[in-house]
Amino acid sequence: MVEVEGYLVLEELYYLTTEDAHIWAKVEDGKVRSGVDDFGQRQMGEVVYVELPSVGDKVEYNKPYGTIESGKATKDLYSPVSGTITEINSKLDDEPKLVNDDPYGEGWIVLIEPSNLDADLKNLLHGDAAVKWMREEAEKAK
Amino acid sequence: MREIRLIEDGSNDAFWNMALDEALMELTPTSTLRLYSWKPPAISIGYFQSLHDEVDLERCRSLGIDVIRRITGGGAVFHDKEVTYSFIMMDYPQDVLESYKLICGAILEGLKTFGIEGEFAPLNDLVLNGKKFSGNAQTRKMGRLLQHGTILLDVDVETMFSILNVPDEKMRDKMISDVKERVTGLDLTSDEVRQALKNGFSEVFDADLVESEVKNDERLLAEEKAKRYASRDWIDRI
């Protein structure tokens, strides 16, 4: 775990860095767990609603699958990989603030069965590259 | 100097108003400020609100008030005597609070040119002498930010509360008197508020406002979207 200007970056994760997506992906037994990264949740402020997809829904790399609201602002949630939703974090219906309190843990949003994992992972930033990117994001936000 | 595209729109129904904001968000090539109003009056609810919890649909129908769900966050708003703006930005602070401060700051700056010294009340309100005169809401999609909001000229609190459902009927009178205490219209004409907004956005964003019509592709997309905004599937979503 690395702290970049106060924002946590986990080296084992992959980050979707298109526009202001700020989405993490974690490969677990061939599946991909995903949520909002620490920088993303901090910029949003307290999350009050998360609209989850349904299990079985198809998702596409860098395309929205849901919506999140914080501070009277809605924002699209983007999928880090293409595939099918196999699990959703239903706890977020009652406790959306888990996205803020534990963005990389209890605040996860979806689990995806990927259909094109190797190719999609090449579009995500990982390790040192993710840390460098986070530094740039933090710099822009100052 | 930068340029902001300016669309001086008139009064439209709720479906067209929200559809055009969304179509512009998708298609406009540059930062865009649109000024408009509502005819007939309308009540809009936030993306995540429950229609039936918030709005007395029968009452709206009998009064000829449009009912619409926004794509932006926040709560129910009664749109009647007001100037509404929408602002689309491509390069914006990711921090939600900072972005409200920036855009609401433009409104405040413009109002100063008419002698009104309002204040920003986080997260998303503007107040004058402690009373709210403007509420604002946002959405962010594909690297673009849409903020729209109202500048109140007058508030018909009785009508507003006659179409809003309240959790406890016994509280309705108290809520009406509270809102009368906490909300105010500005003592300006609609044209003055429009001019104030133009002054403020030009100054704060250091930009020339370039007046523009709605383009054909934007109009066609808005027509498609207006159908969705008017559909039960969308309005009754939650």
CATH number at residue A30: 2.40.50.100
Chain A residues with CB-CB distance to B136 below 8 A: 72
Query: Chain B residue closest to A46 (CA)?
Result: B96
Residue of B46, B74, B142 lying closest to A19 (CB–CB) = B142
Residue of B75, B140, B142 lying closest to A73 (CB–CB) = B140
E strands, A10-141, are: 14-16, 23-28, 31-36, 47-51, 58-59, 64-70, 73-78, 83-88, 110-114, 125-126
Domain tally for chain A? 1
Task: Label residue B167 by pLDDT band (50, 70, 90).
Answer: confident
User: Which CATH class for the B2-235 domain?
Assistant: alpha beta
Q: Which two tokens stand for residue A38?
A: 């620490």
Cβ of A72 within 8 Å of Cβ of B47? The answer is no
Chain A residues with CB-CB distance to B138 below 8 A: 71-74
Q: Terminus-to-terminus CA distance in chain A, angstroms?
A: 22
Provide the b/e sequence for B34-71 (b: ≥16 CB within 10 Å).
Answer: bbbbbeebbbbbbbbbebeebbbbeebeeeebbbbbbb
Which value does ipTM take for this structure? 0.95
3-class secondary-structure state, position A40: helix
Per-residue pLDDT tens digits for B100-149: 999 999 999 999 999 999 999 999 999 999 999 999 999 999 999 999 99
Range of the domain at A58: 2-141
Per-residue pLDDT tens digits for B179-204: 999 999 999 999 999 999 999 999 99
Angle between helices B216-230 and B14-27 (to 10 degrees): 130
Whether B168 shows a pLDDT value over 90: the answer reads no
Query: Chain A residue closest to B143 (CA)?
Result: A19
Determine the pLDDT at residue B82: 98
Give the residue extent of every domain in chain B. Answer: 2-235
Residue of A43, A48, A74 lying closest to B139 (CB–CB) = A74
